[in-house]
Amino acid sequence: MLTNQMQIVKATVPVLQKHGLEITRVFYEQMLTEHPELKAQFDPEAQKDGSQSRRLAGAILAYAANIDRLDQLTAGVDKIAYRHVDVNVLPEQYPIVGKHLLGAIKTVLGEAATPEILDAWAAAYGQLADILIGREKAIYAEQLEPAAV
């Protein structure tokens, strides 16, 4: 990820504070409409009451605010990665999520979502996806190891 992309993502923190919940609501609506097969990986009650959107908005905000200090996110990444492993998230699902997250940003922010902002967020999402995929791969491997006696 380029330094200027990190700066752009950090600069979007106030926008995320204001519009993050709407972005995640639109994200889930669009993604789960286009990919209904993914619904099984989400708690329907958390979708219905909005807590899933709130959690995701908070996670995205934390990532944007700390994109230059990823070590601050280790506990959050672990929590998300373990949840993903529990519901069997696969690496090939990350591009679907990325497409719909960027689409939701564009939908909610309209013309304010400039090509530079969308490019920066595409890079940021790619970085985060790589981090999560790597951590999830390690968790899957740990689960396959025989228990020590």
Q: Which of 28, 63, 94, 125 is catalytic?
A: 94
Contacts of 128 (CB under 8 A, 6+ apart): 63
* Catalytic residue list contains 136: yes
Please state, in angstroms and rounded to a whole number, the distance separating the CA atoms of residues 7 and 39. 34
The answer to whether 96 and 41 have CB atoms below 8 angstroms apart is no
By the 10 Å C-beta count (0-12 exposed, 13-18 middle, 19+ buried), 49 is classed as exposed
Q: Which of 45, 136, 142, 145 is catalytic?
A: 136
* Catalytic residue list contains 94: yes
**Any idea what the Cα angle at residue 133 is, between residues 132 and 135, rounded to 5°?**
65
Question: Could you list the active site residues?
Answer: 94, 136
